[in-house]
Amino acid sequence: MNEIRIIPIGSGSTGNCFYIEIGGYRFLIDMGIGYKKVRDALGLHGRSLEEVDAIFVTHGHYDHVKAAIPITNHVHCKIYANRSVMYSIRDSKAERVVLNMFEDIGLFPGLTIRMFKVPHDFAYTCGYTFSTSERKIAYVTDCGRMNENILQELAGADVAIIESNHDVEMLKNGPYPKSLQARIRSEAGHLSNDECAETIAFLKEKGTSHFLLAHLSLHNNTPETALETVRQRIADPDVDIYVCPDEGNDLLIY
Ligand SMILES: [Zn+2]
Ligand SMILES: [Zn+2]
């Protein structure tokens, strides 16, 4: 009951979907991975979409909502997101509920959920935290800049899922045109490995000891580069760092 379990089903610009368990509840975050892959990843560990208690969506970019229709054909729960996402998931069958930023959301007894604003080029992109009296998960990807407000929301998490999108040098020397590079580096873009490392250093001081590096770019990053950049900053072997694969079915228990 007190354990946190996470299956990083998909992470990156081709598709994002995380399964989490906290306080006895089962949630999906985002629906950017196809139904069959989600079903199979959950099934491998005796879980199923039919048992998911709620789905939370961060924003309406394709890589986060593209499988909303097939996935919601197989759930018995509601989808929660802010108003700006509703149009992107308008054809999904599940009931859709609008959440407000920066309020404690008491949908499930014993659990506090918070949605907070993240700077990105989709209106009202958000991150989430899920907290019981004893455990806390934080989730933030698609984040152009880390800021004080987000750091305060993330602080005290047991497990933090944080974007580590690109290596700045790889992006500069990579295949993307300058305009796209500028968009990714902008305050409405994505968090670099260095910025992720800085965030992790801050959260480590606040007591977080488990980190998942998420939303890695296929073209401007590698799992090794992301991990190395973070490890250069946080050498402490007691800090556990897992790099989320593009598609995966690992069950992580904390
Ligand atoms: Zn994304
Ligand atoms: Zn996005």
Q: Ligand 1 center to residue 83 CA distance, Å?
A: 18
pLDDT, averaged across the chain: 96
Q: Ligand 2 center to residue 236 CA distance, Å?
A: 31
pLDDT in tens, 3-29: 999 999 999 989 999 999 999 999 999
Mean pLDDT of 196-205: 98
CATH number of the domain that 28 lies in? 3.60.15.10
Cα–Cα dist 226/212, whole Å: 11
Question: In a 3-state reduction of DSSP, which class is residue 14?
Answer: coil
Task: Assess whether pLDDT exceeds 90 at residue 210.
Answer: yes
- Where would I find the beta strands (DSSP E) of the chain? 5-10, 17-22, 25-29, 54-56, 78-81, 96-98, 104-108, 111-117, 126-131, 136-140, 159-163, 210-214, 240-243, 252-253
Number of domains in the chain: 1
Among the bound ligands, name the one nearest to the CA of residue 84: 2
pLDDT in tens, 41-54: 999 999 999 999 99
Cα–Cα dist 11/211, whole Å: 14
- DSSP one-letter string for 32-88: -S-HHHHHHHHHTTT--GGG--EEE-----HHHHTTHHHHHTT--SEEEE-GGGTTT
Q: Ligand 1 center to residue 206 CA distance, Å?
A: 27
Task: Assess whether pLDDT exceeds 80 at residue 201.
Answer: yes
Task: Assess whether pLDDT exceeds 90 at residue 91.
Answer: no
What is this structure's pTM?
A: 0.96
Q: Ligand 1 center to residue 86 CA distance, Å?
A: 17
Q: Ligand 1 center to residue 4 CA distance, Å?
A: 24
Among the bound ligands, name the one nearest to the CA of residue 33: 1
Q: Which among 42, 36, 21, 96 is positioned nearest to 67, based on CA atoms?
A: 36
Task: Assess whether pLDDT exceeds 90 at residue 142.
Answer: yes
CA distances from 168 to 71, 151, 181, 217 (A): 35, 22, 9, 11
Neighbours of ion ligand 1 (CB under 5 A): 63, 142
Residue type, 244: C
- Domain range for 228: 5-253
Task: Assess whether pLDDT exceeds 90 at residue 105.
Answer: no
pLDDT in tens, 143-164: 999 999 999 999 999 999 999 9
Cα–Cα dist 109/39, whole Å: 27
- Sheet strand arrangement including 159-163: 104-108, 111-117, 126-131, 136-140, 159-163, 210-214, 240-243
List 138's β-bridge partners, or say none. 129, 160
Residue showing tokens 């989430």: 128
